[in-house]
Amino acid sequence: MTPAEAAVGRLVVCPTPIGNLEDVTSRVLTALREADVVACEDTRHTRVLLDRYGIRARLISLHEHNERARAEELVARMRDGAVVALVSDAGTPLVSDPGFALVRAALAAGMALEVLPGPSAVLTALVASGLPVDSWRFVGFMPRSRRELEALLAEAGETLVAFESPRRLAATLGALARLDPERPAAVCRELTKLHEEVRRGTAAELEAHYRESPARGEVVLVCGAAPPGRARNEEALAAVAELIEAGARPRPAAAAVAKLTGLAANDLYRELTARR
Rounded to the nearest 10 degrees, the angle between the axes of helix 146-155 and helix 230-245 is: 150
Q: What is the mean pLDDT of the chain?
A: 91
b vs e for 90-106, b when ≥16 Cβ sit within 10 Å of the residue's Cβ?
Answer: bbbbbbbbbbebbbebb
Position 276 confidence tier, pLDDT thresholds 50, 70, 90? low
pLDDT at 5: 47
Q: How far is CA 161 from the centre of its chain?
A: 7
Q: What count of residues does the chain have?
A: 276
Position 108 confidence tier, pLDDT thresholds 50, 70, 90? very high
C-alpha gyration radius of the chain: 23
The backbone region for 114, taken as left when phi is positive above 0, alpha when psi lies in -120 to 50, beta otherwise, is beta
pTM: 0.79
Per-residue pLDDT of 219-244, as tens digits, reads 999 999 988 655 556 677 778 788 88
Per-residue pLDDT of 10-23, as tens digits, reads 999 999 999 999 99
Look up the CATH number of domain 121-223.
Answer: 3.30.950.10
Q: Higher confidence at residue 146 or residue 201?
A: 201
Query: Which range has the top average pLDDT, 78-92, 230-244, 248-262?
Result: 78-92
Distance between CA atoms of 233 and 151, rounded to whole angstroms? 10
pLDDT at 230: 59
Other C-beta atoms within 10 Å of 48: how many? 10
List CB contacts of 253: < 8 A, sequence separation 6 or more: 240, 243, 244
Query: Which amino acid is located at 251 in the chain?
Result: R
Distance between CA atoms of 133 and 58, rounded to whole angstroms? 39
List CB contacts of 119: < 8 A, sequence separation 6 or more: 15, 16, 17, 18, 23, 24, 90, 91, 92, 192
Distance between CA atoms of 131 and 129, rounded to whole angstroms? 5
**Domain spans of the chain, in order of start:** 3-115, 121-223, 230-275
pLDDT at 172: 97
In CATH, which superfamily holds the domain spanning 3-115?
Tetrapyrrole methylase, N-terminal domain (3.40.1010.10)
Q: Tell me the C-alpha to C-alpha distance, in Å, between residue 275 and each of 146, 170, 173, 179, 223.
A: 10, 16, 14, 10, 20
CB-CB contact of 206 with 175 (8 Å):
no
Per cent of the chain over pLDDT 70 is 94
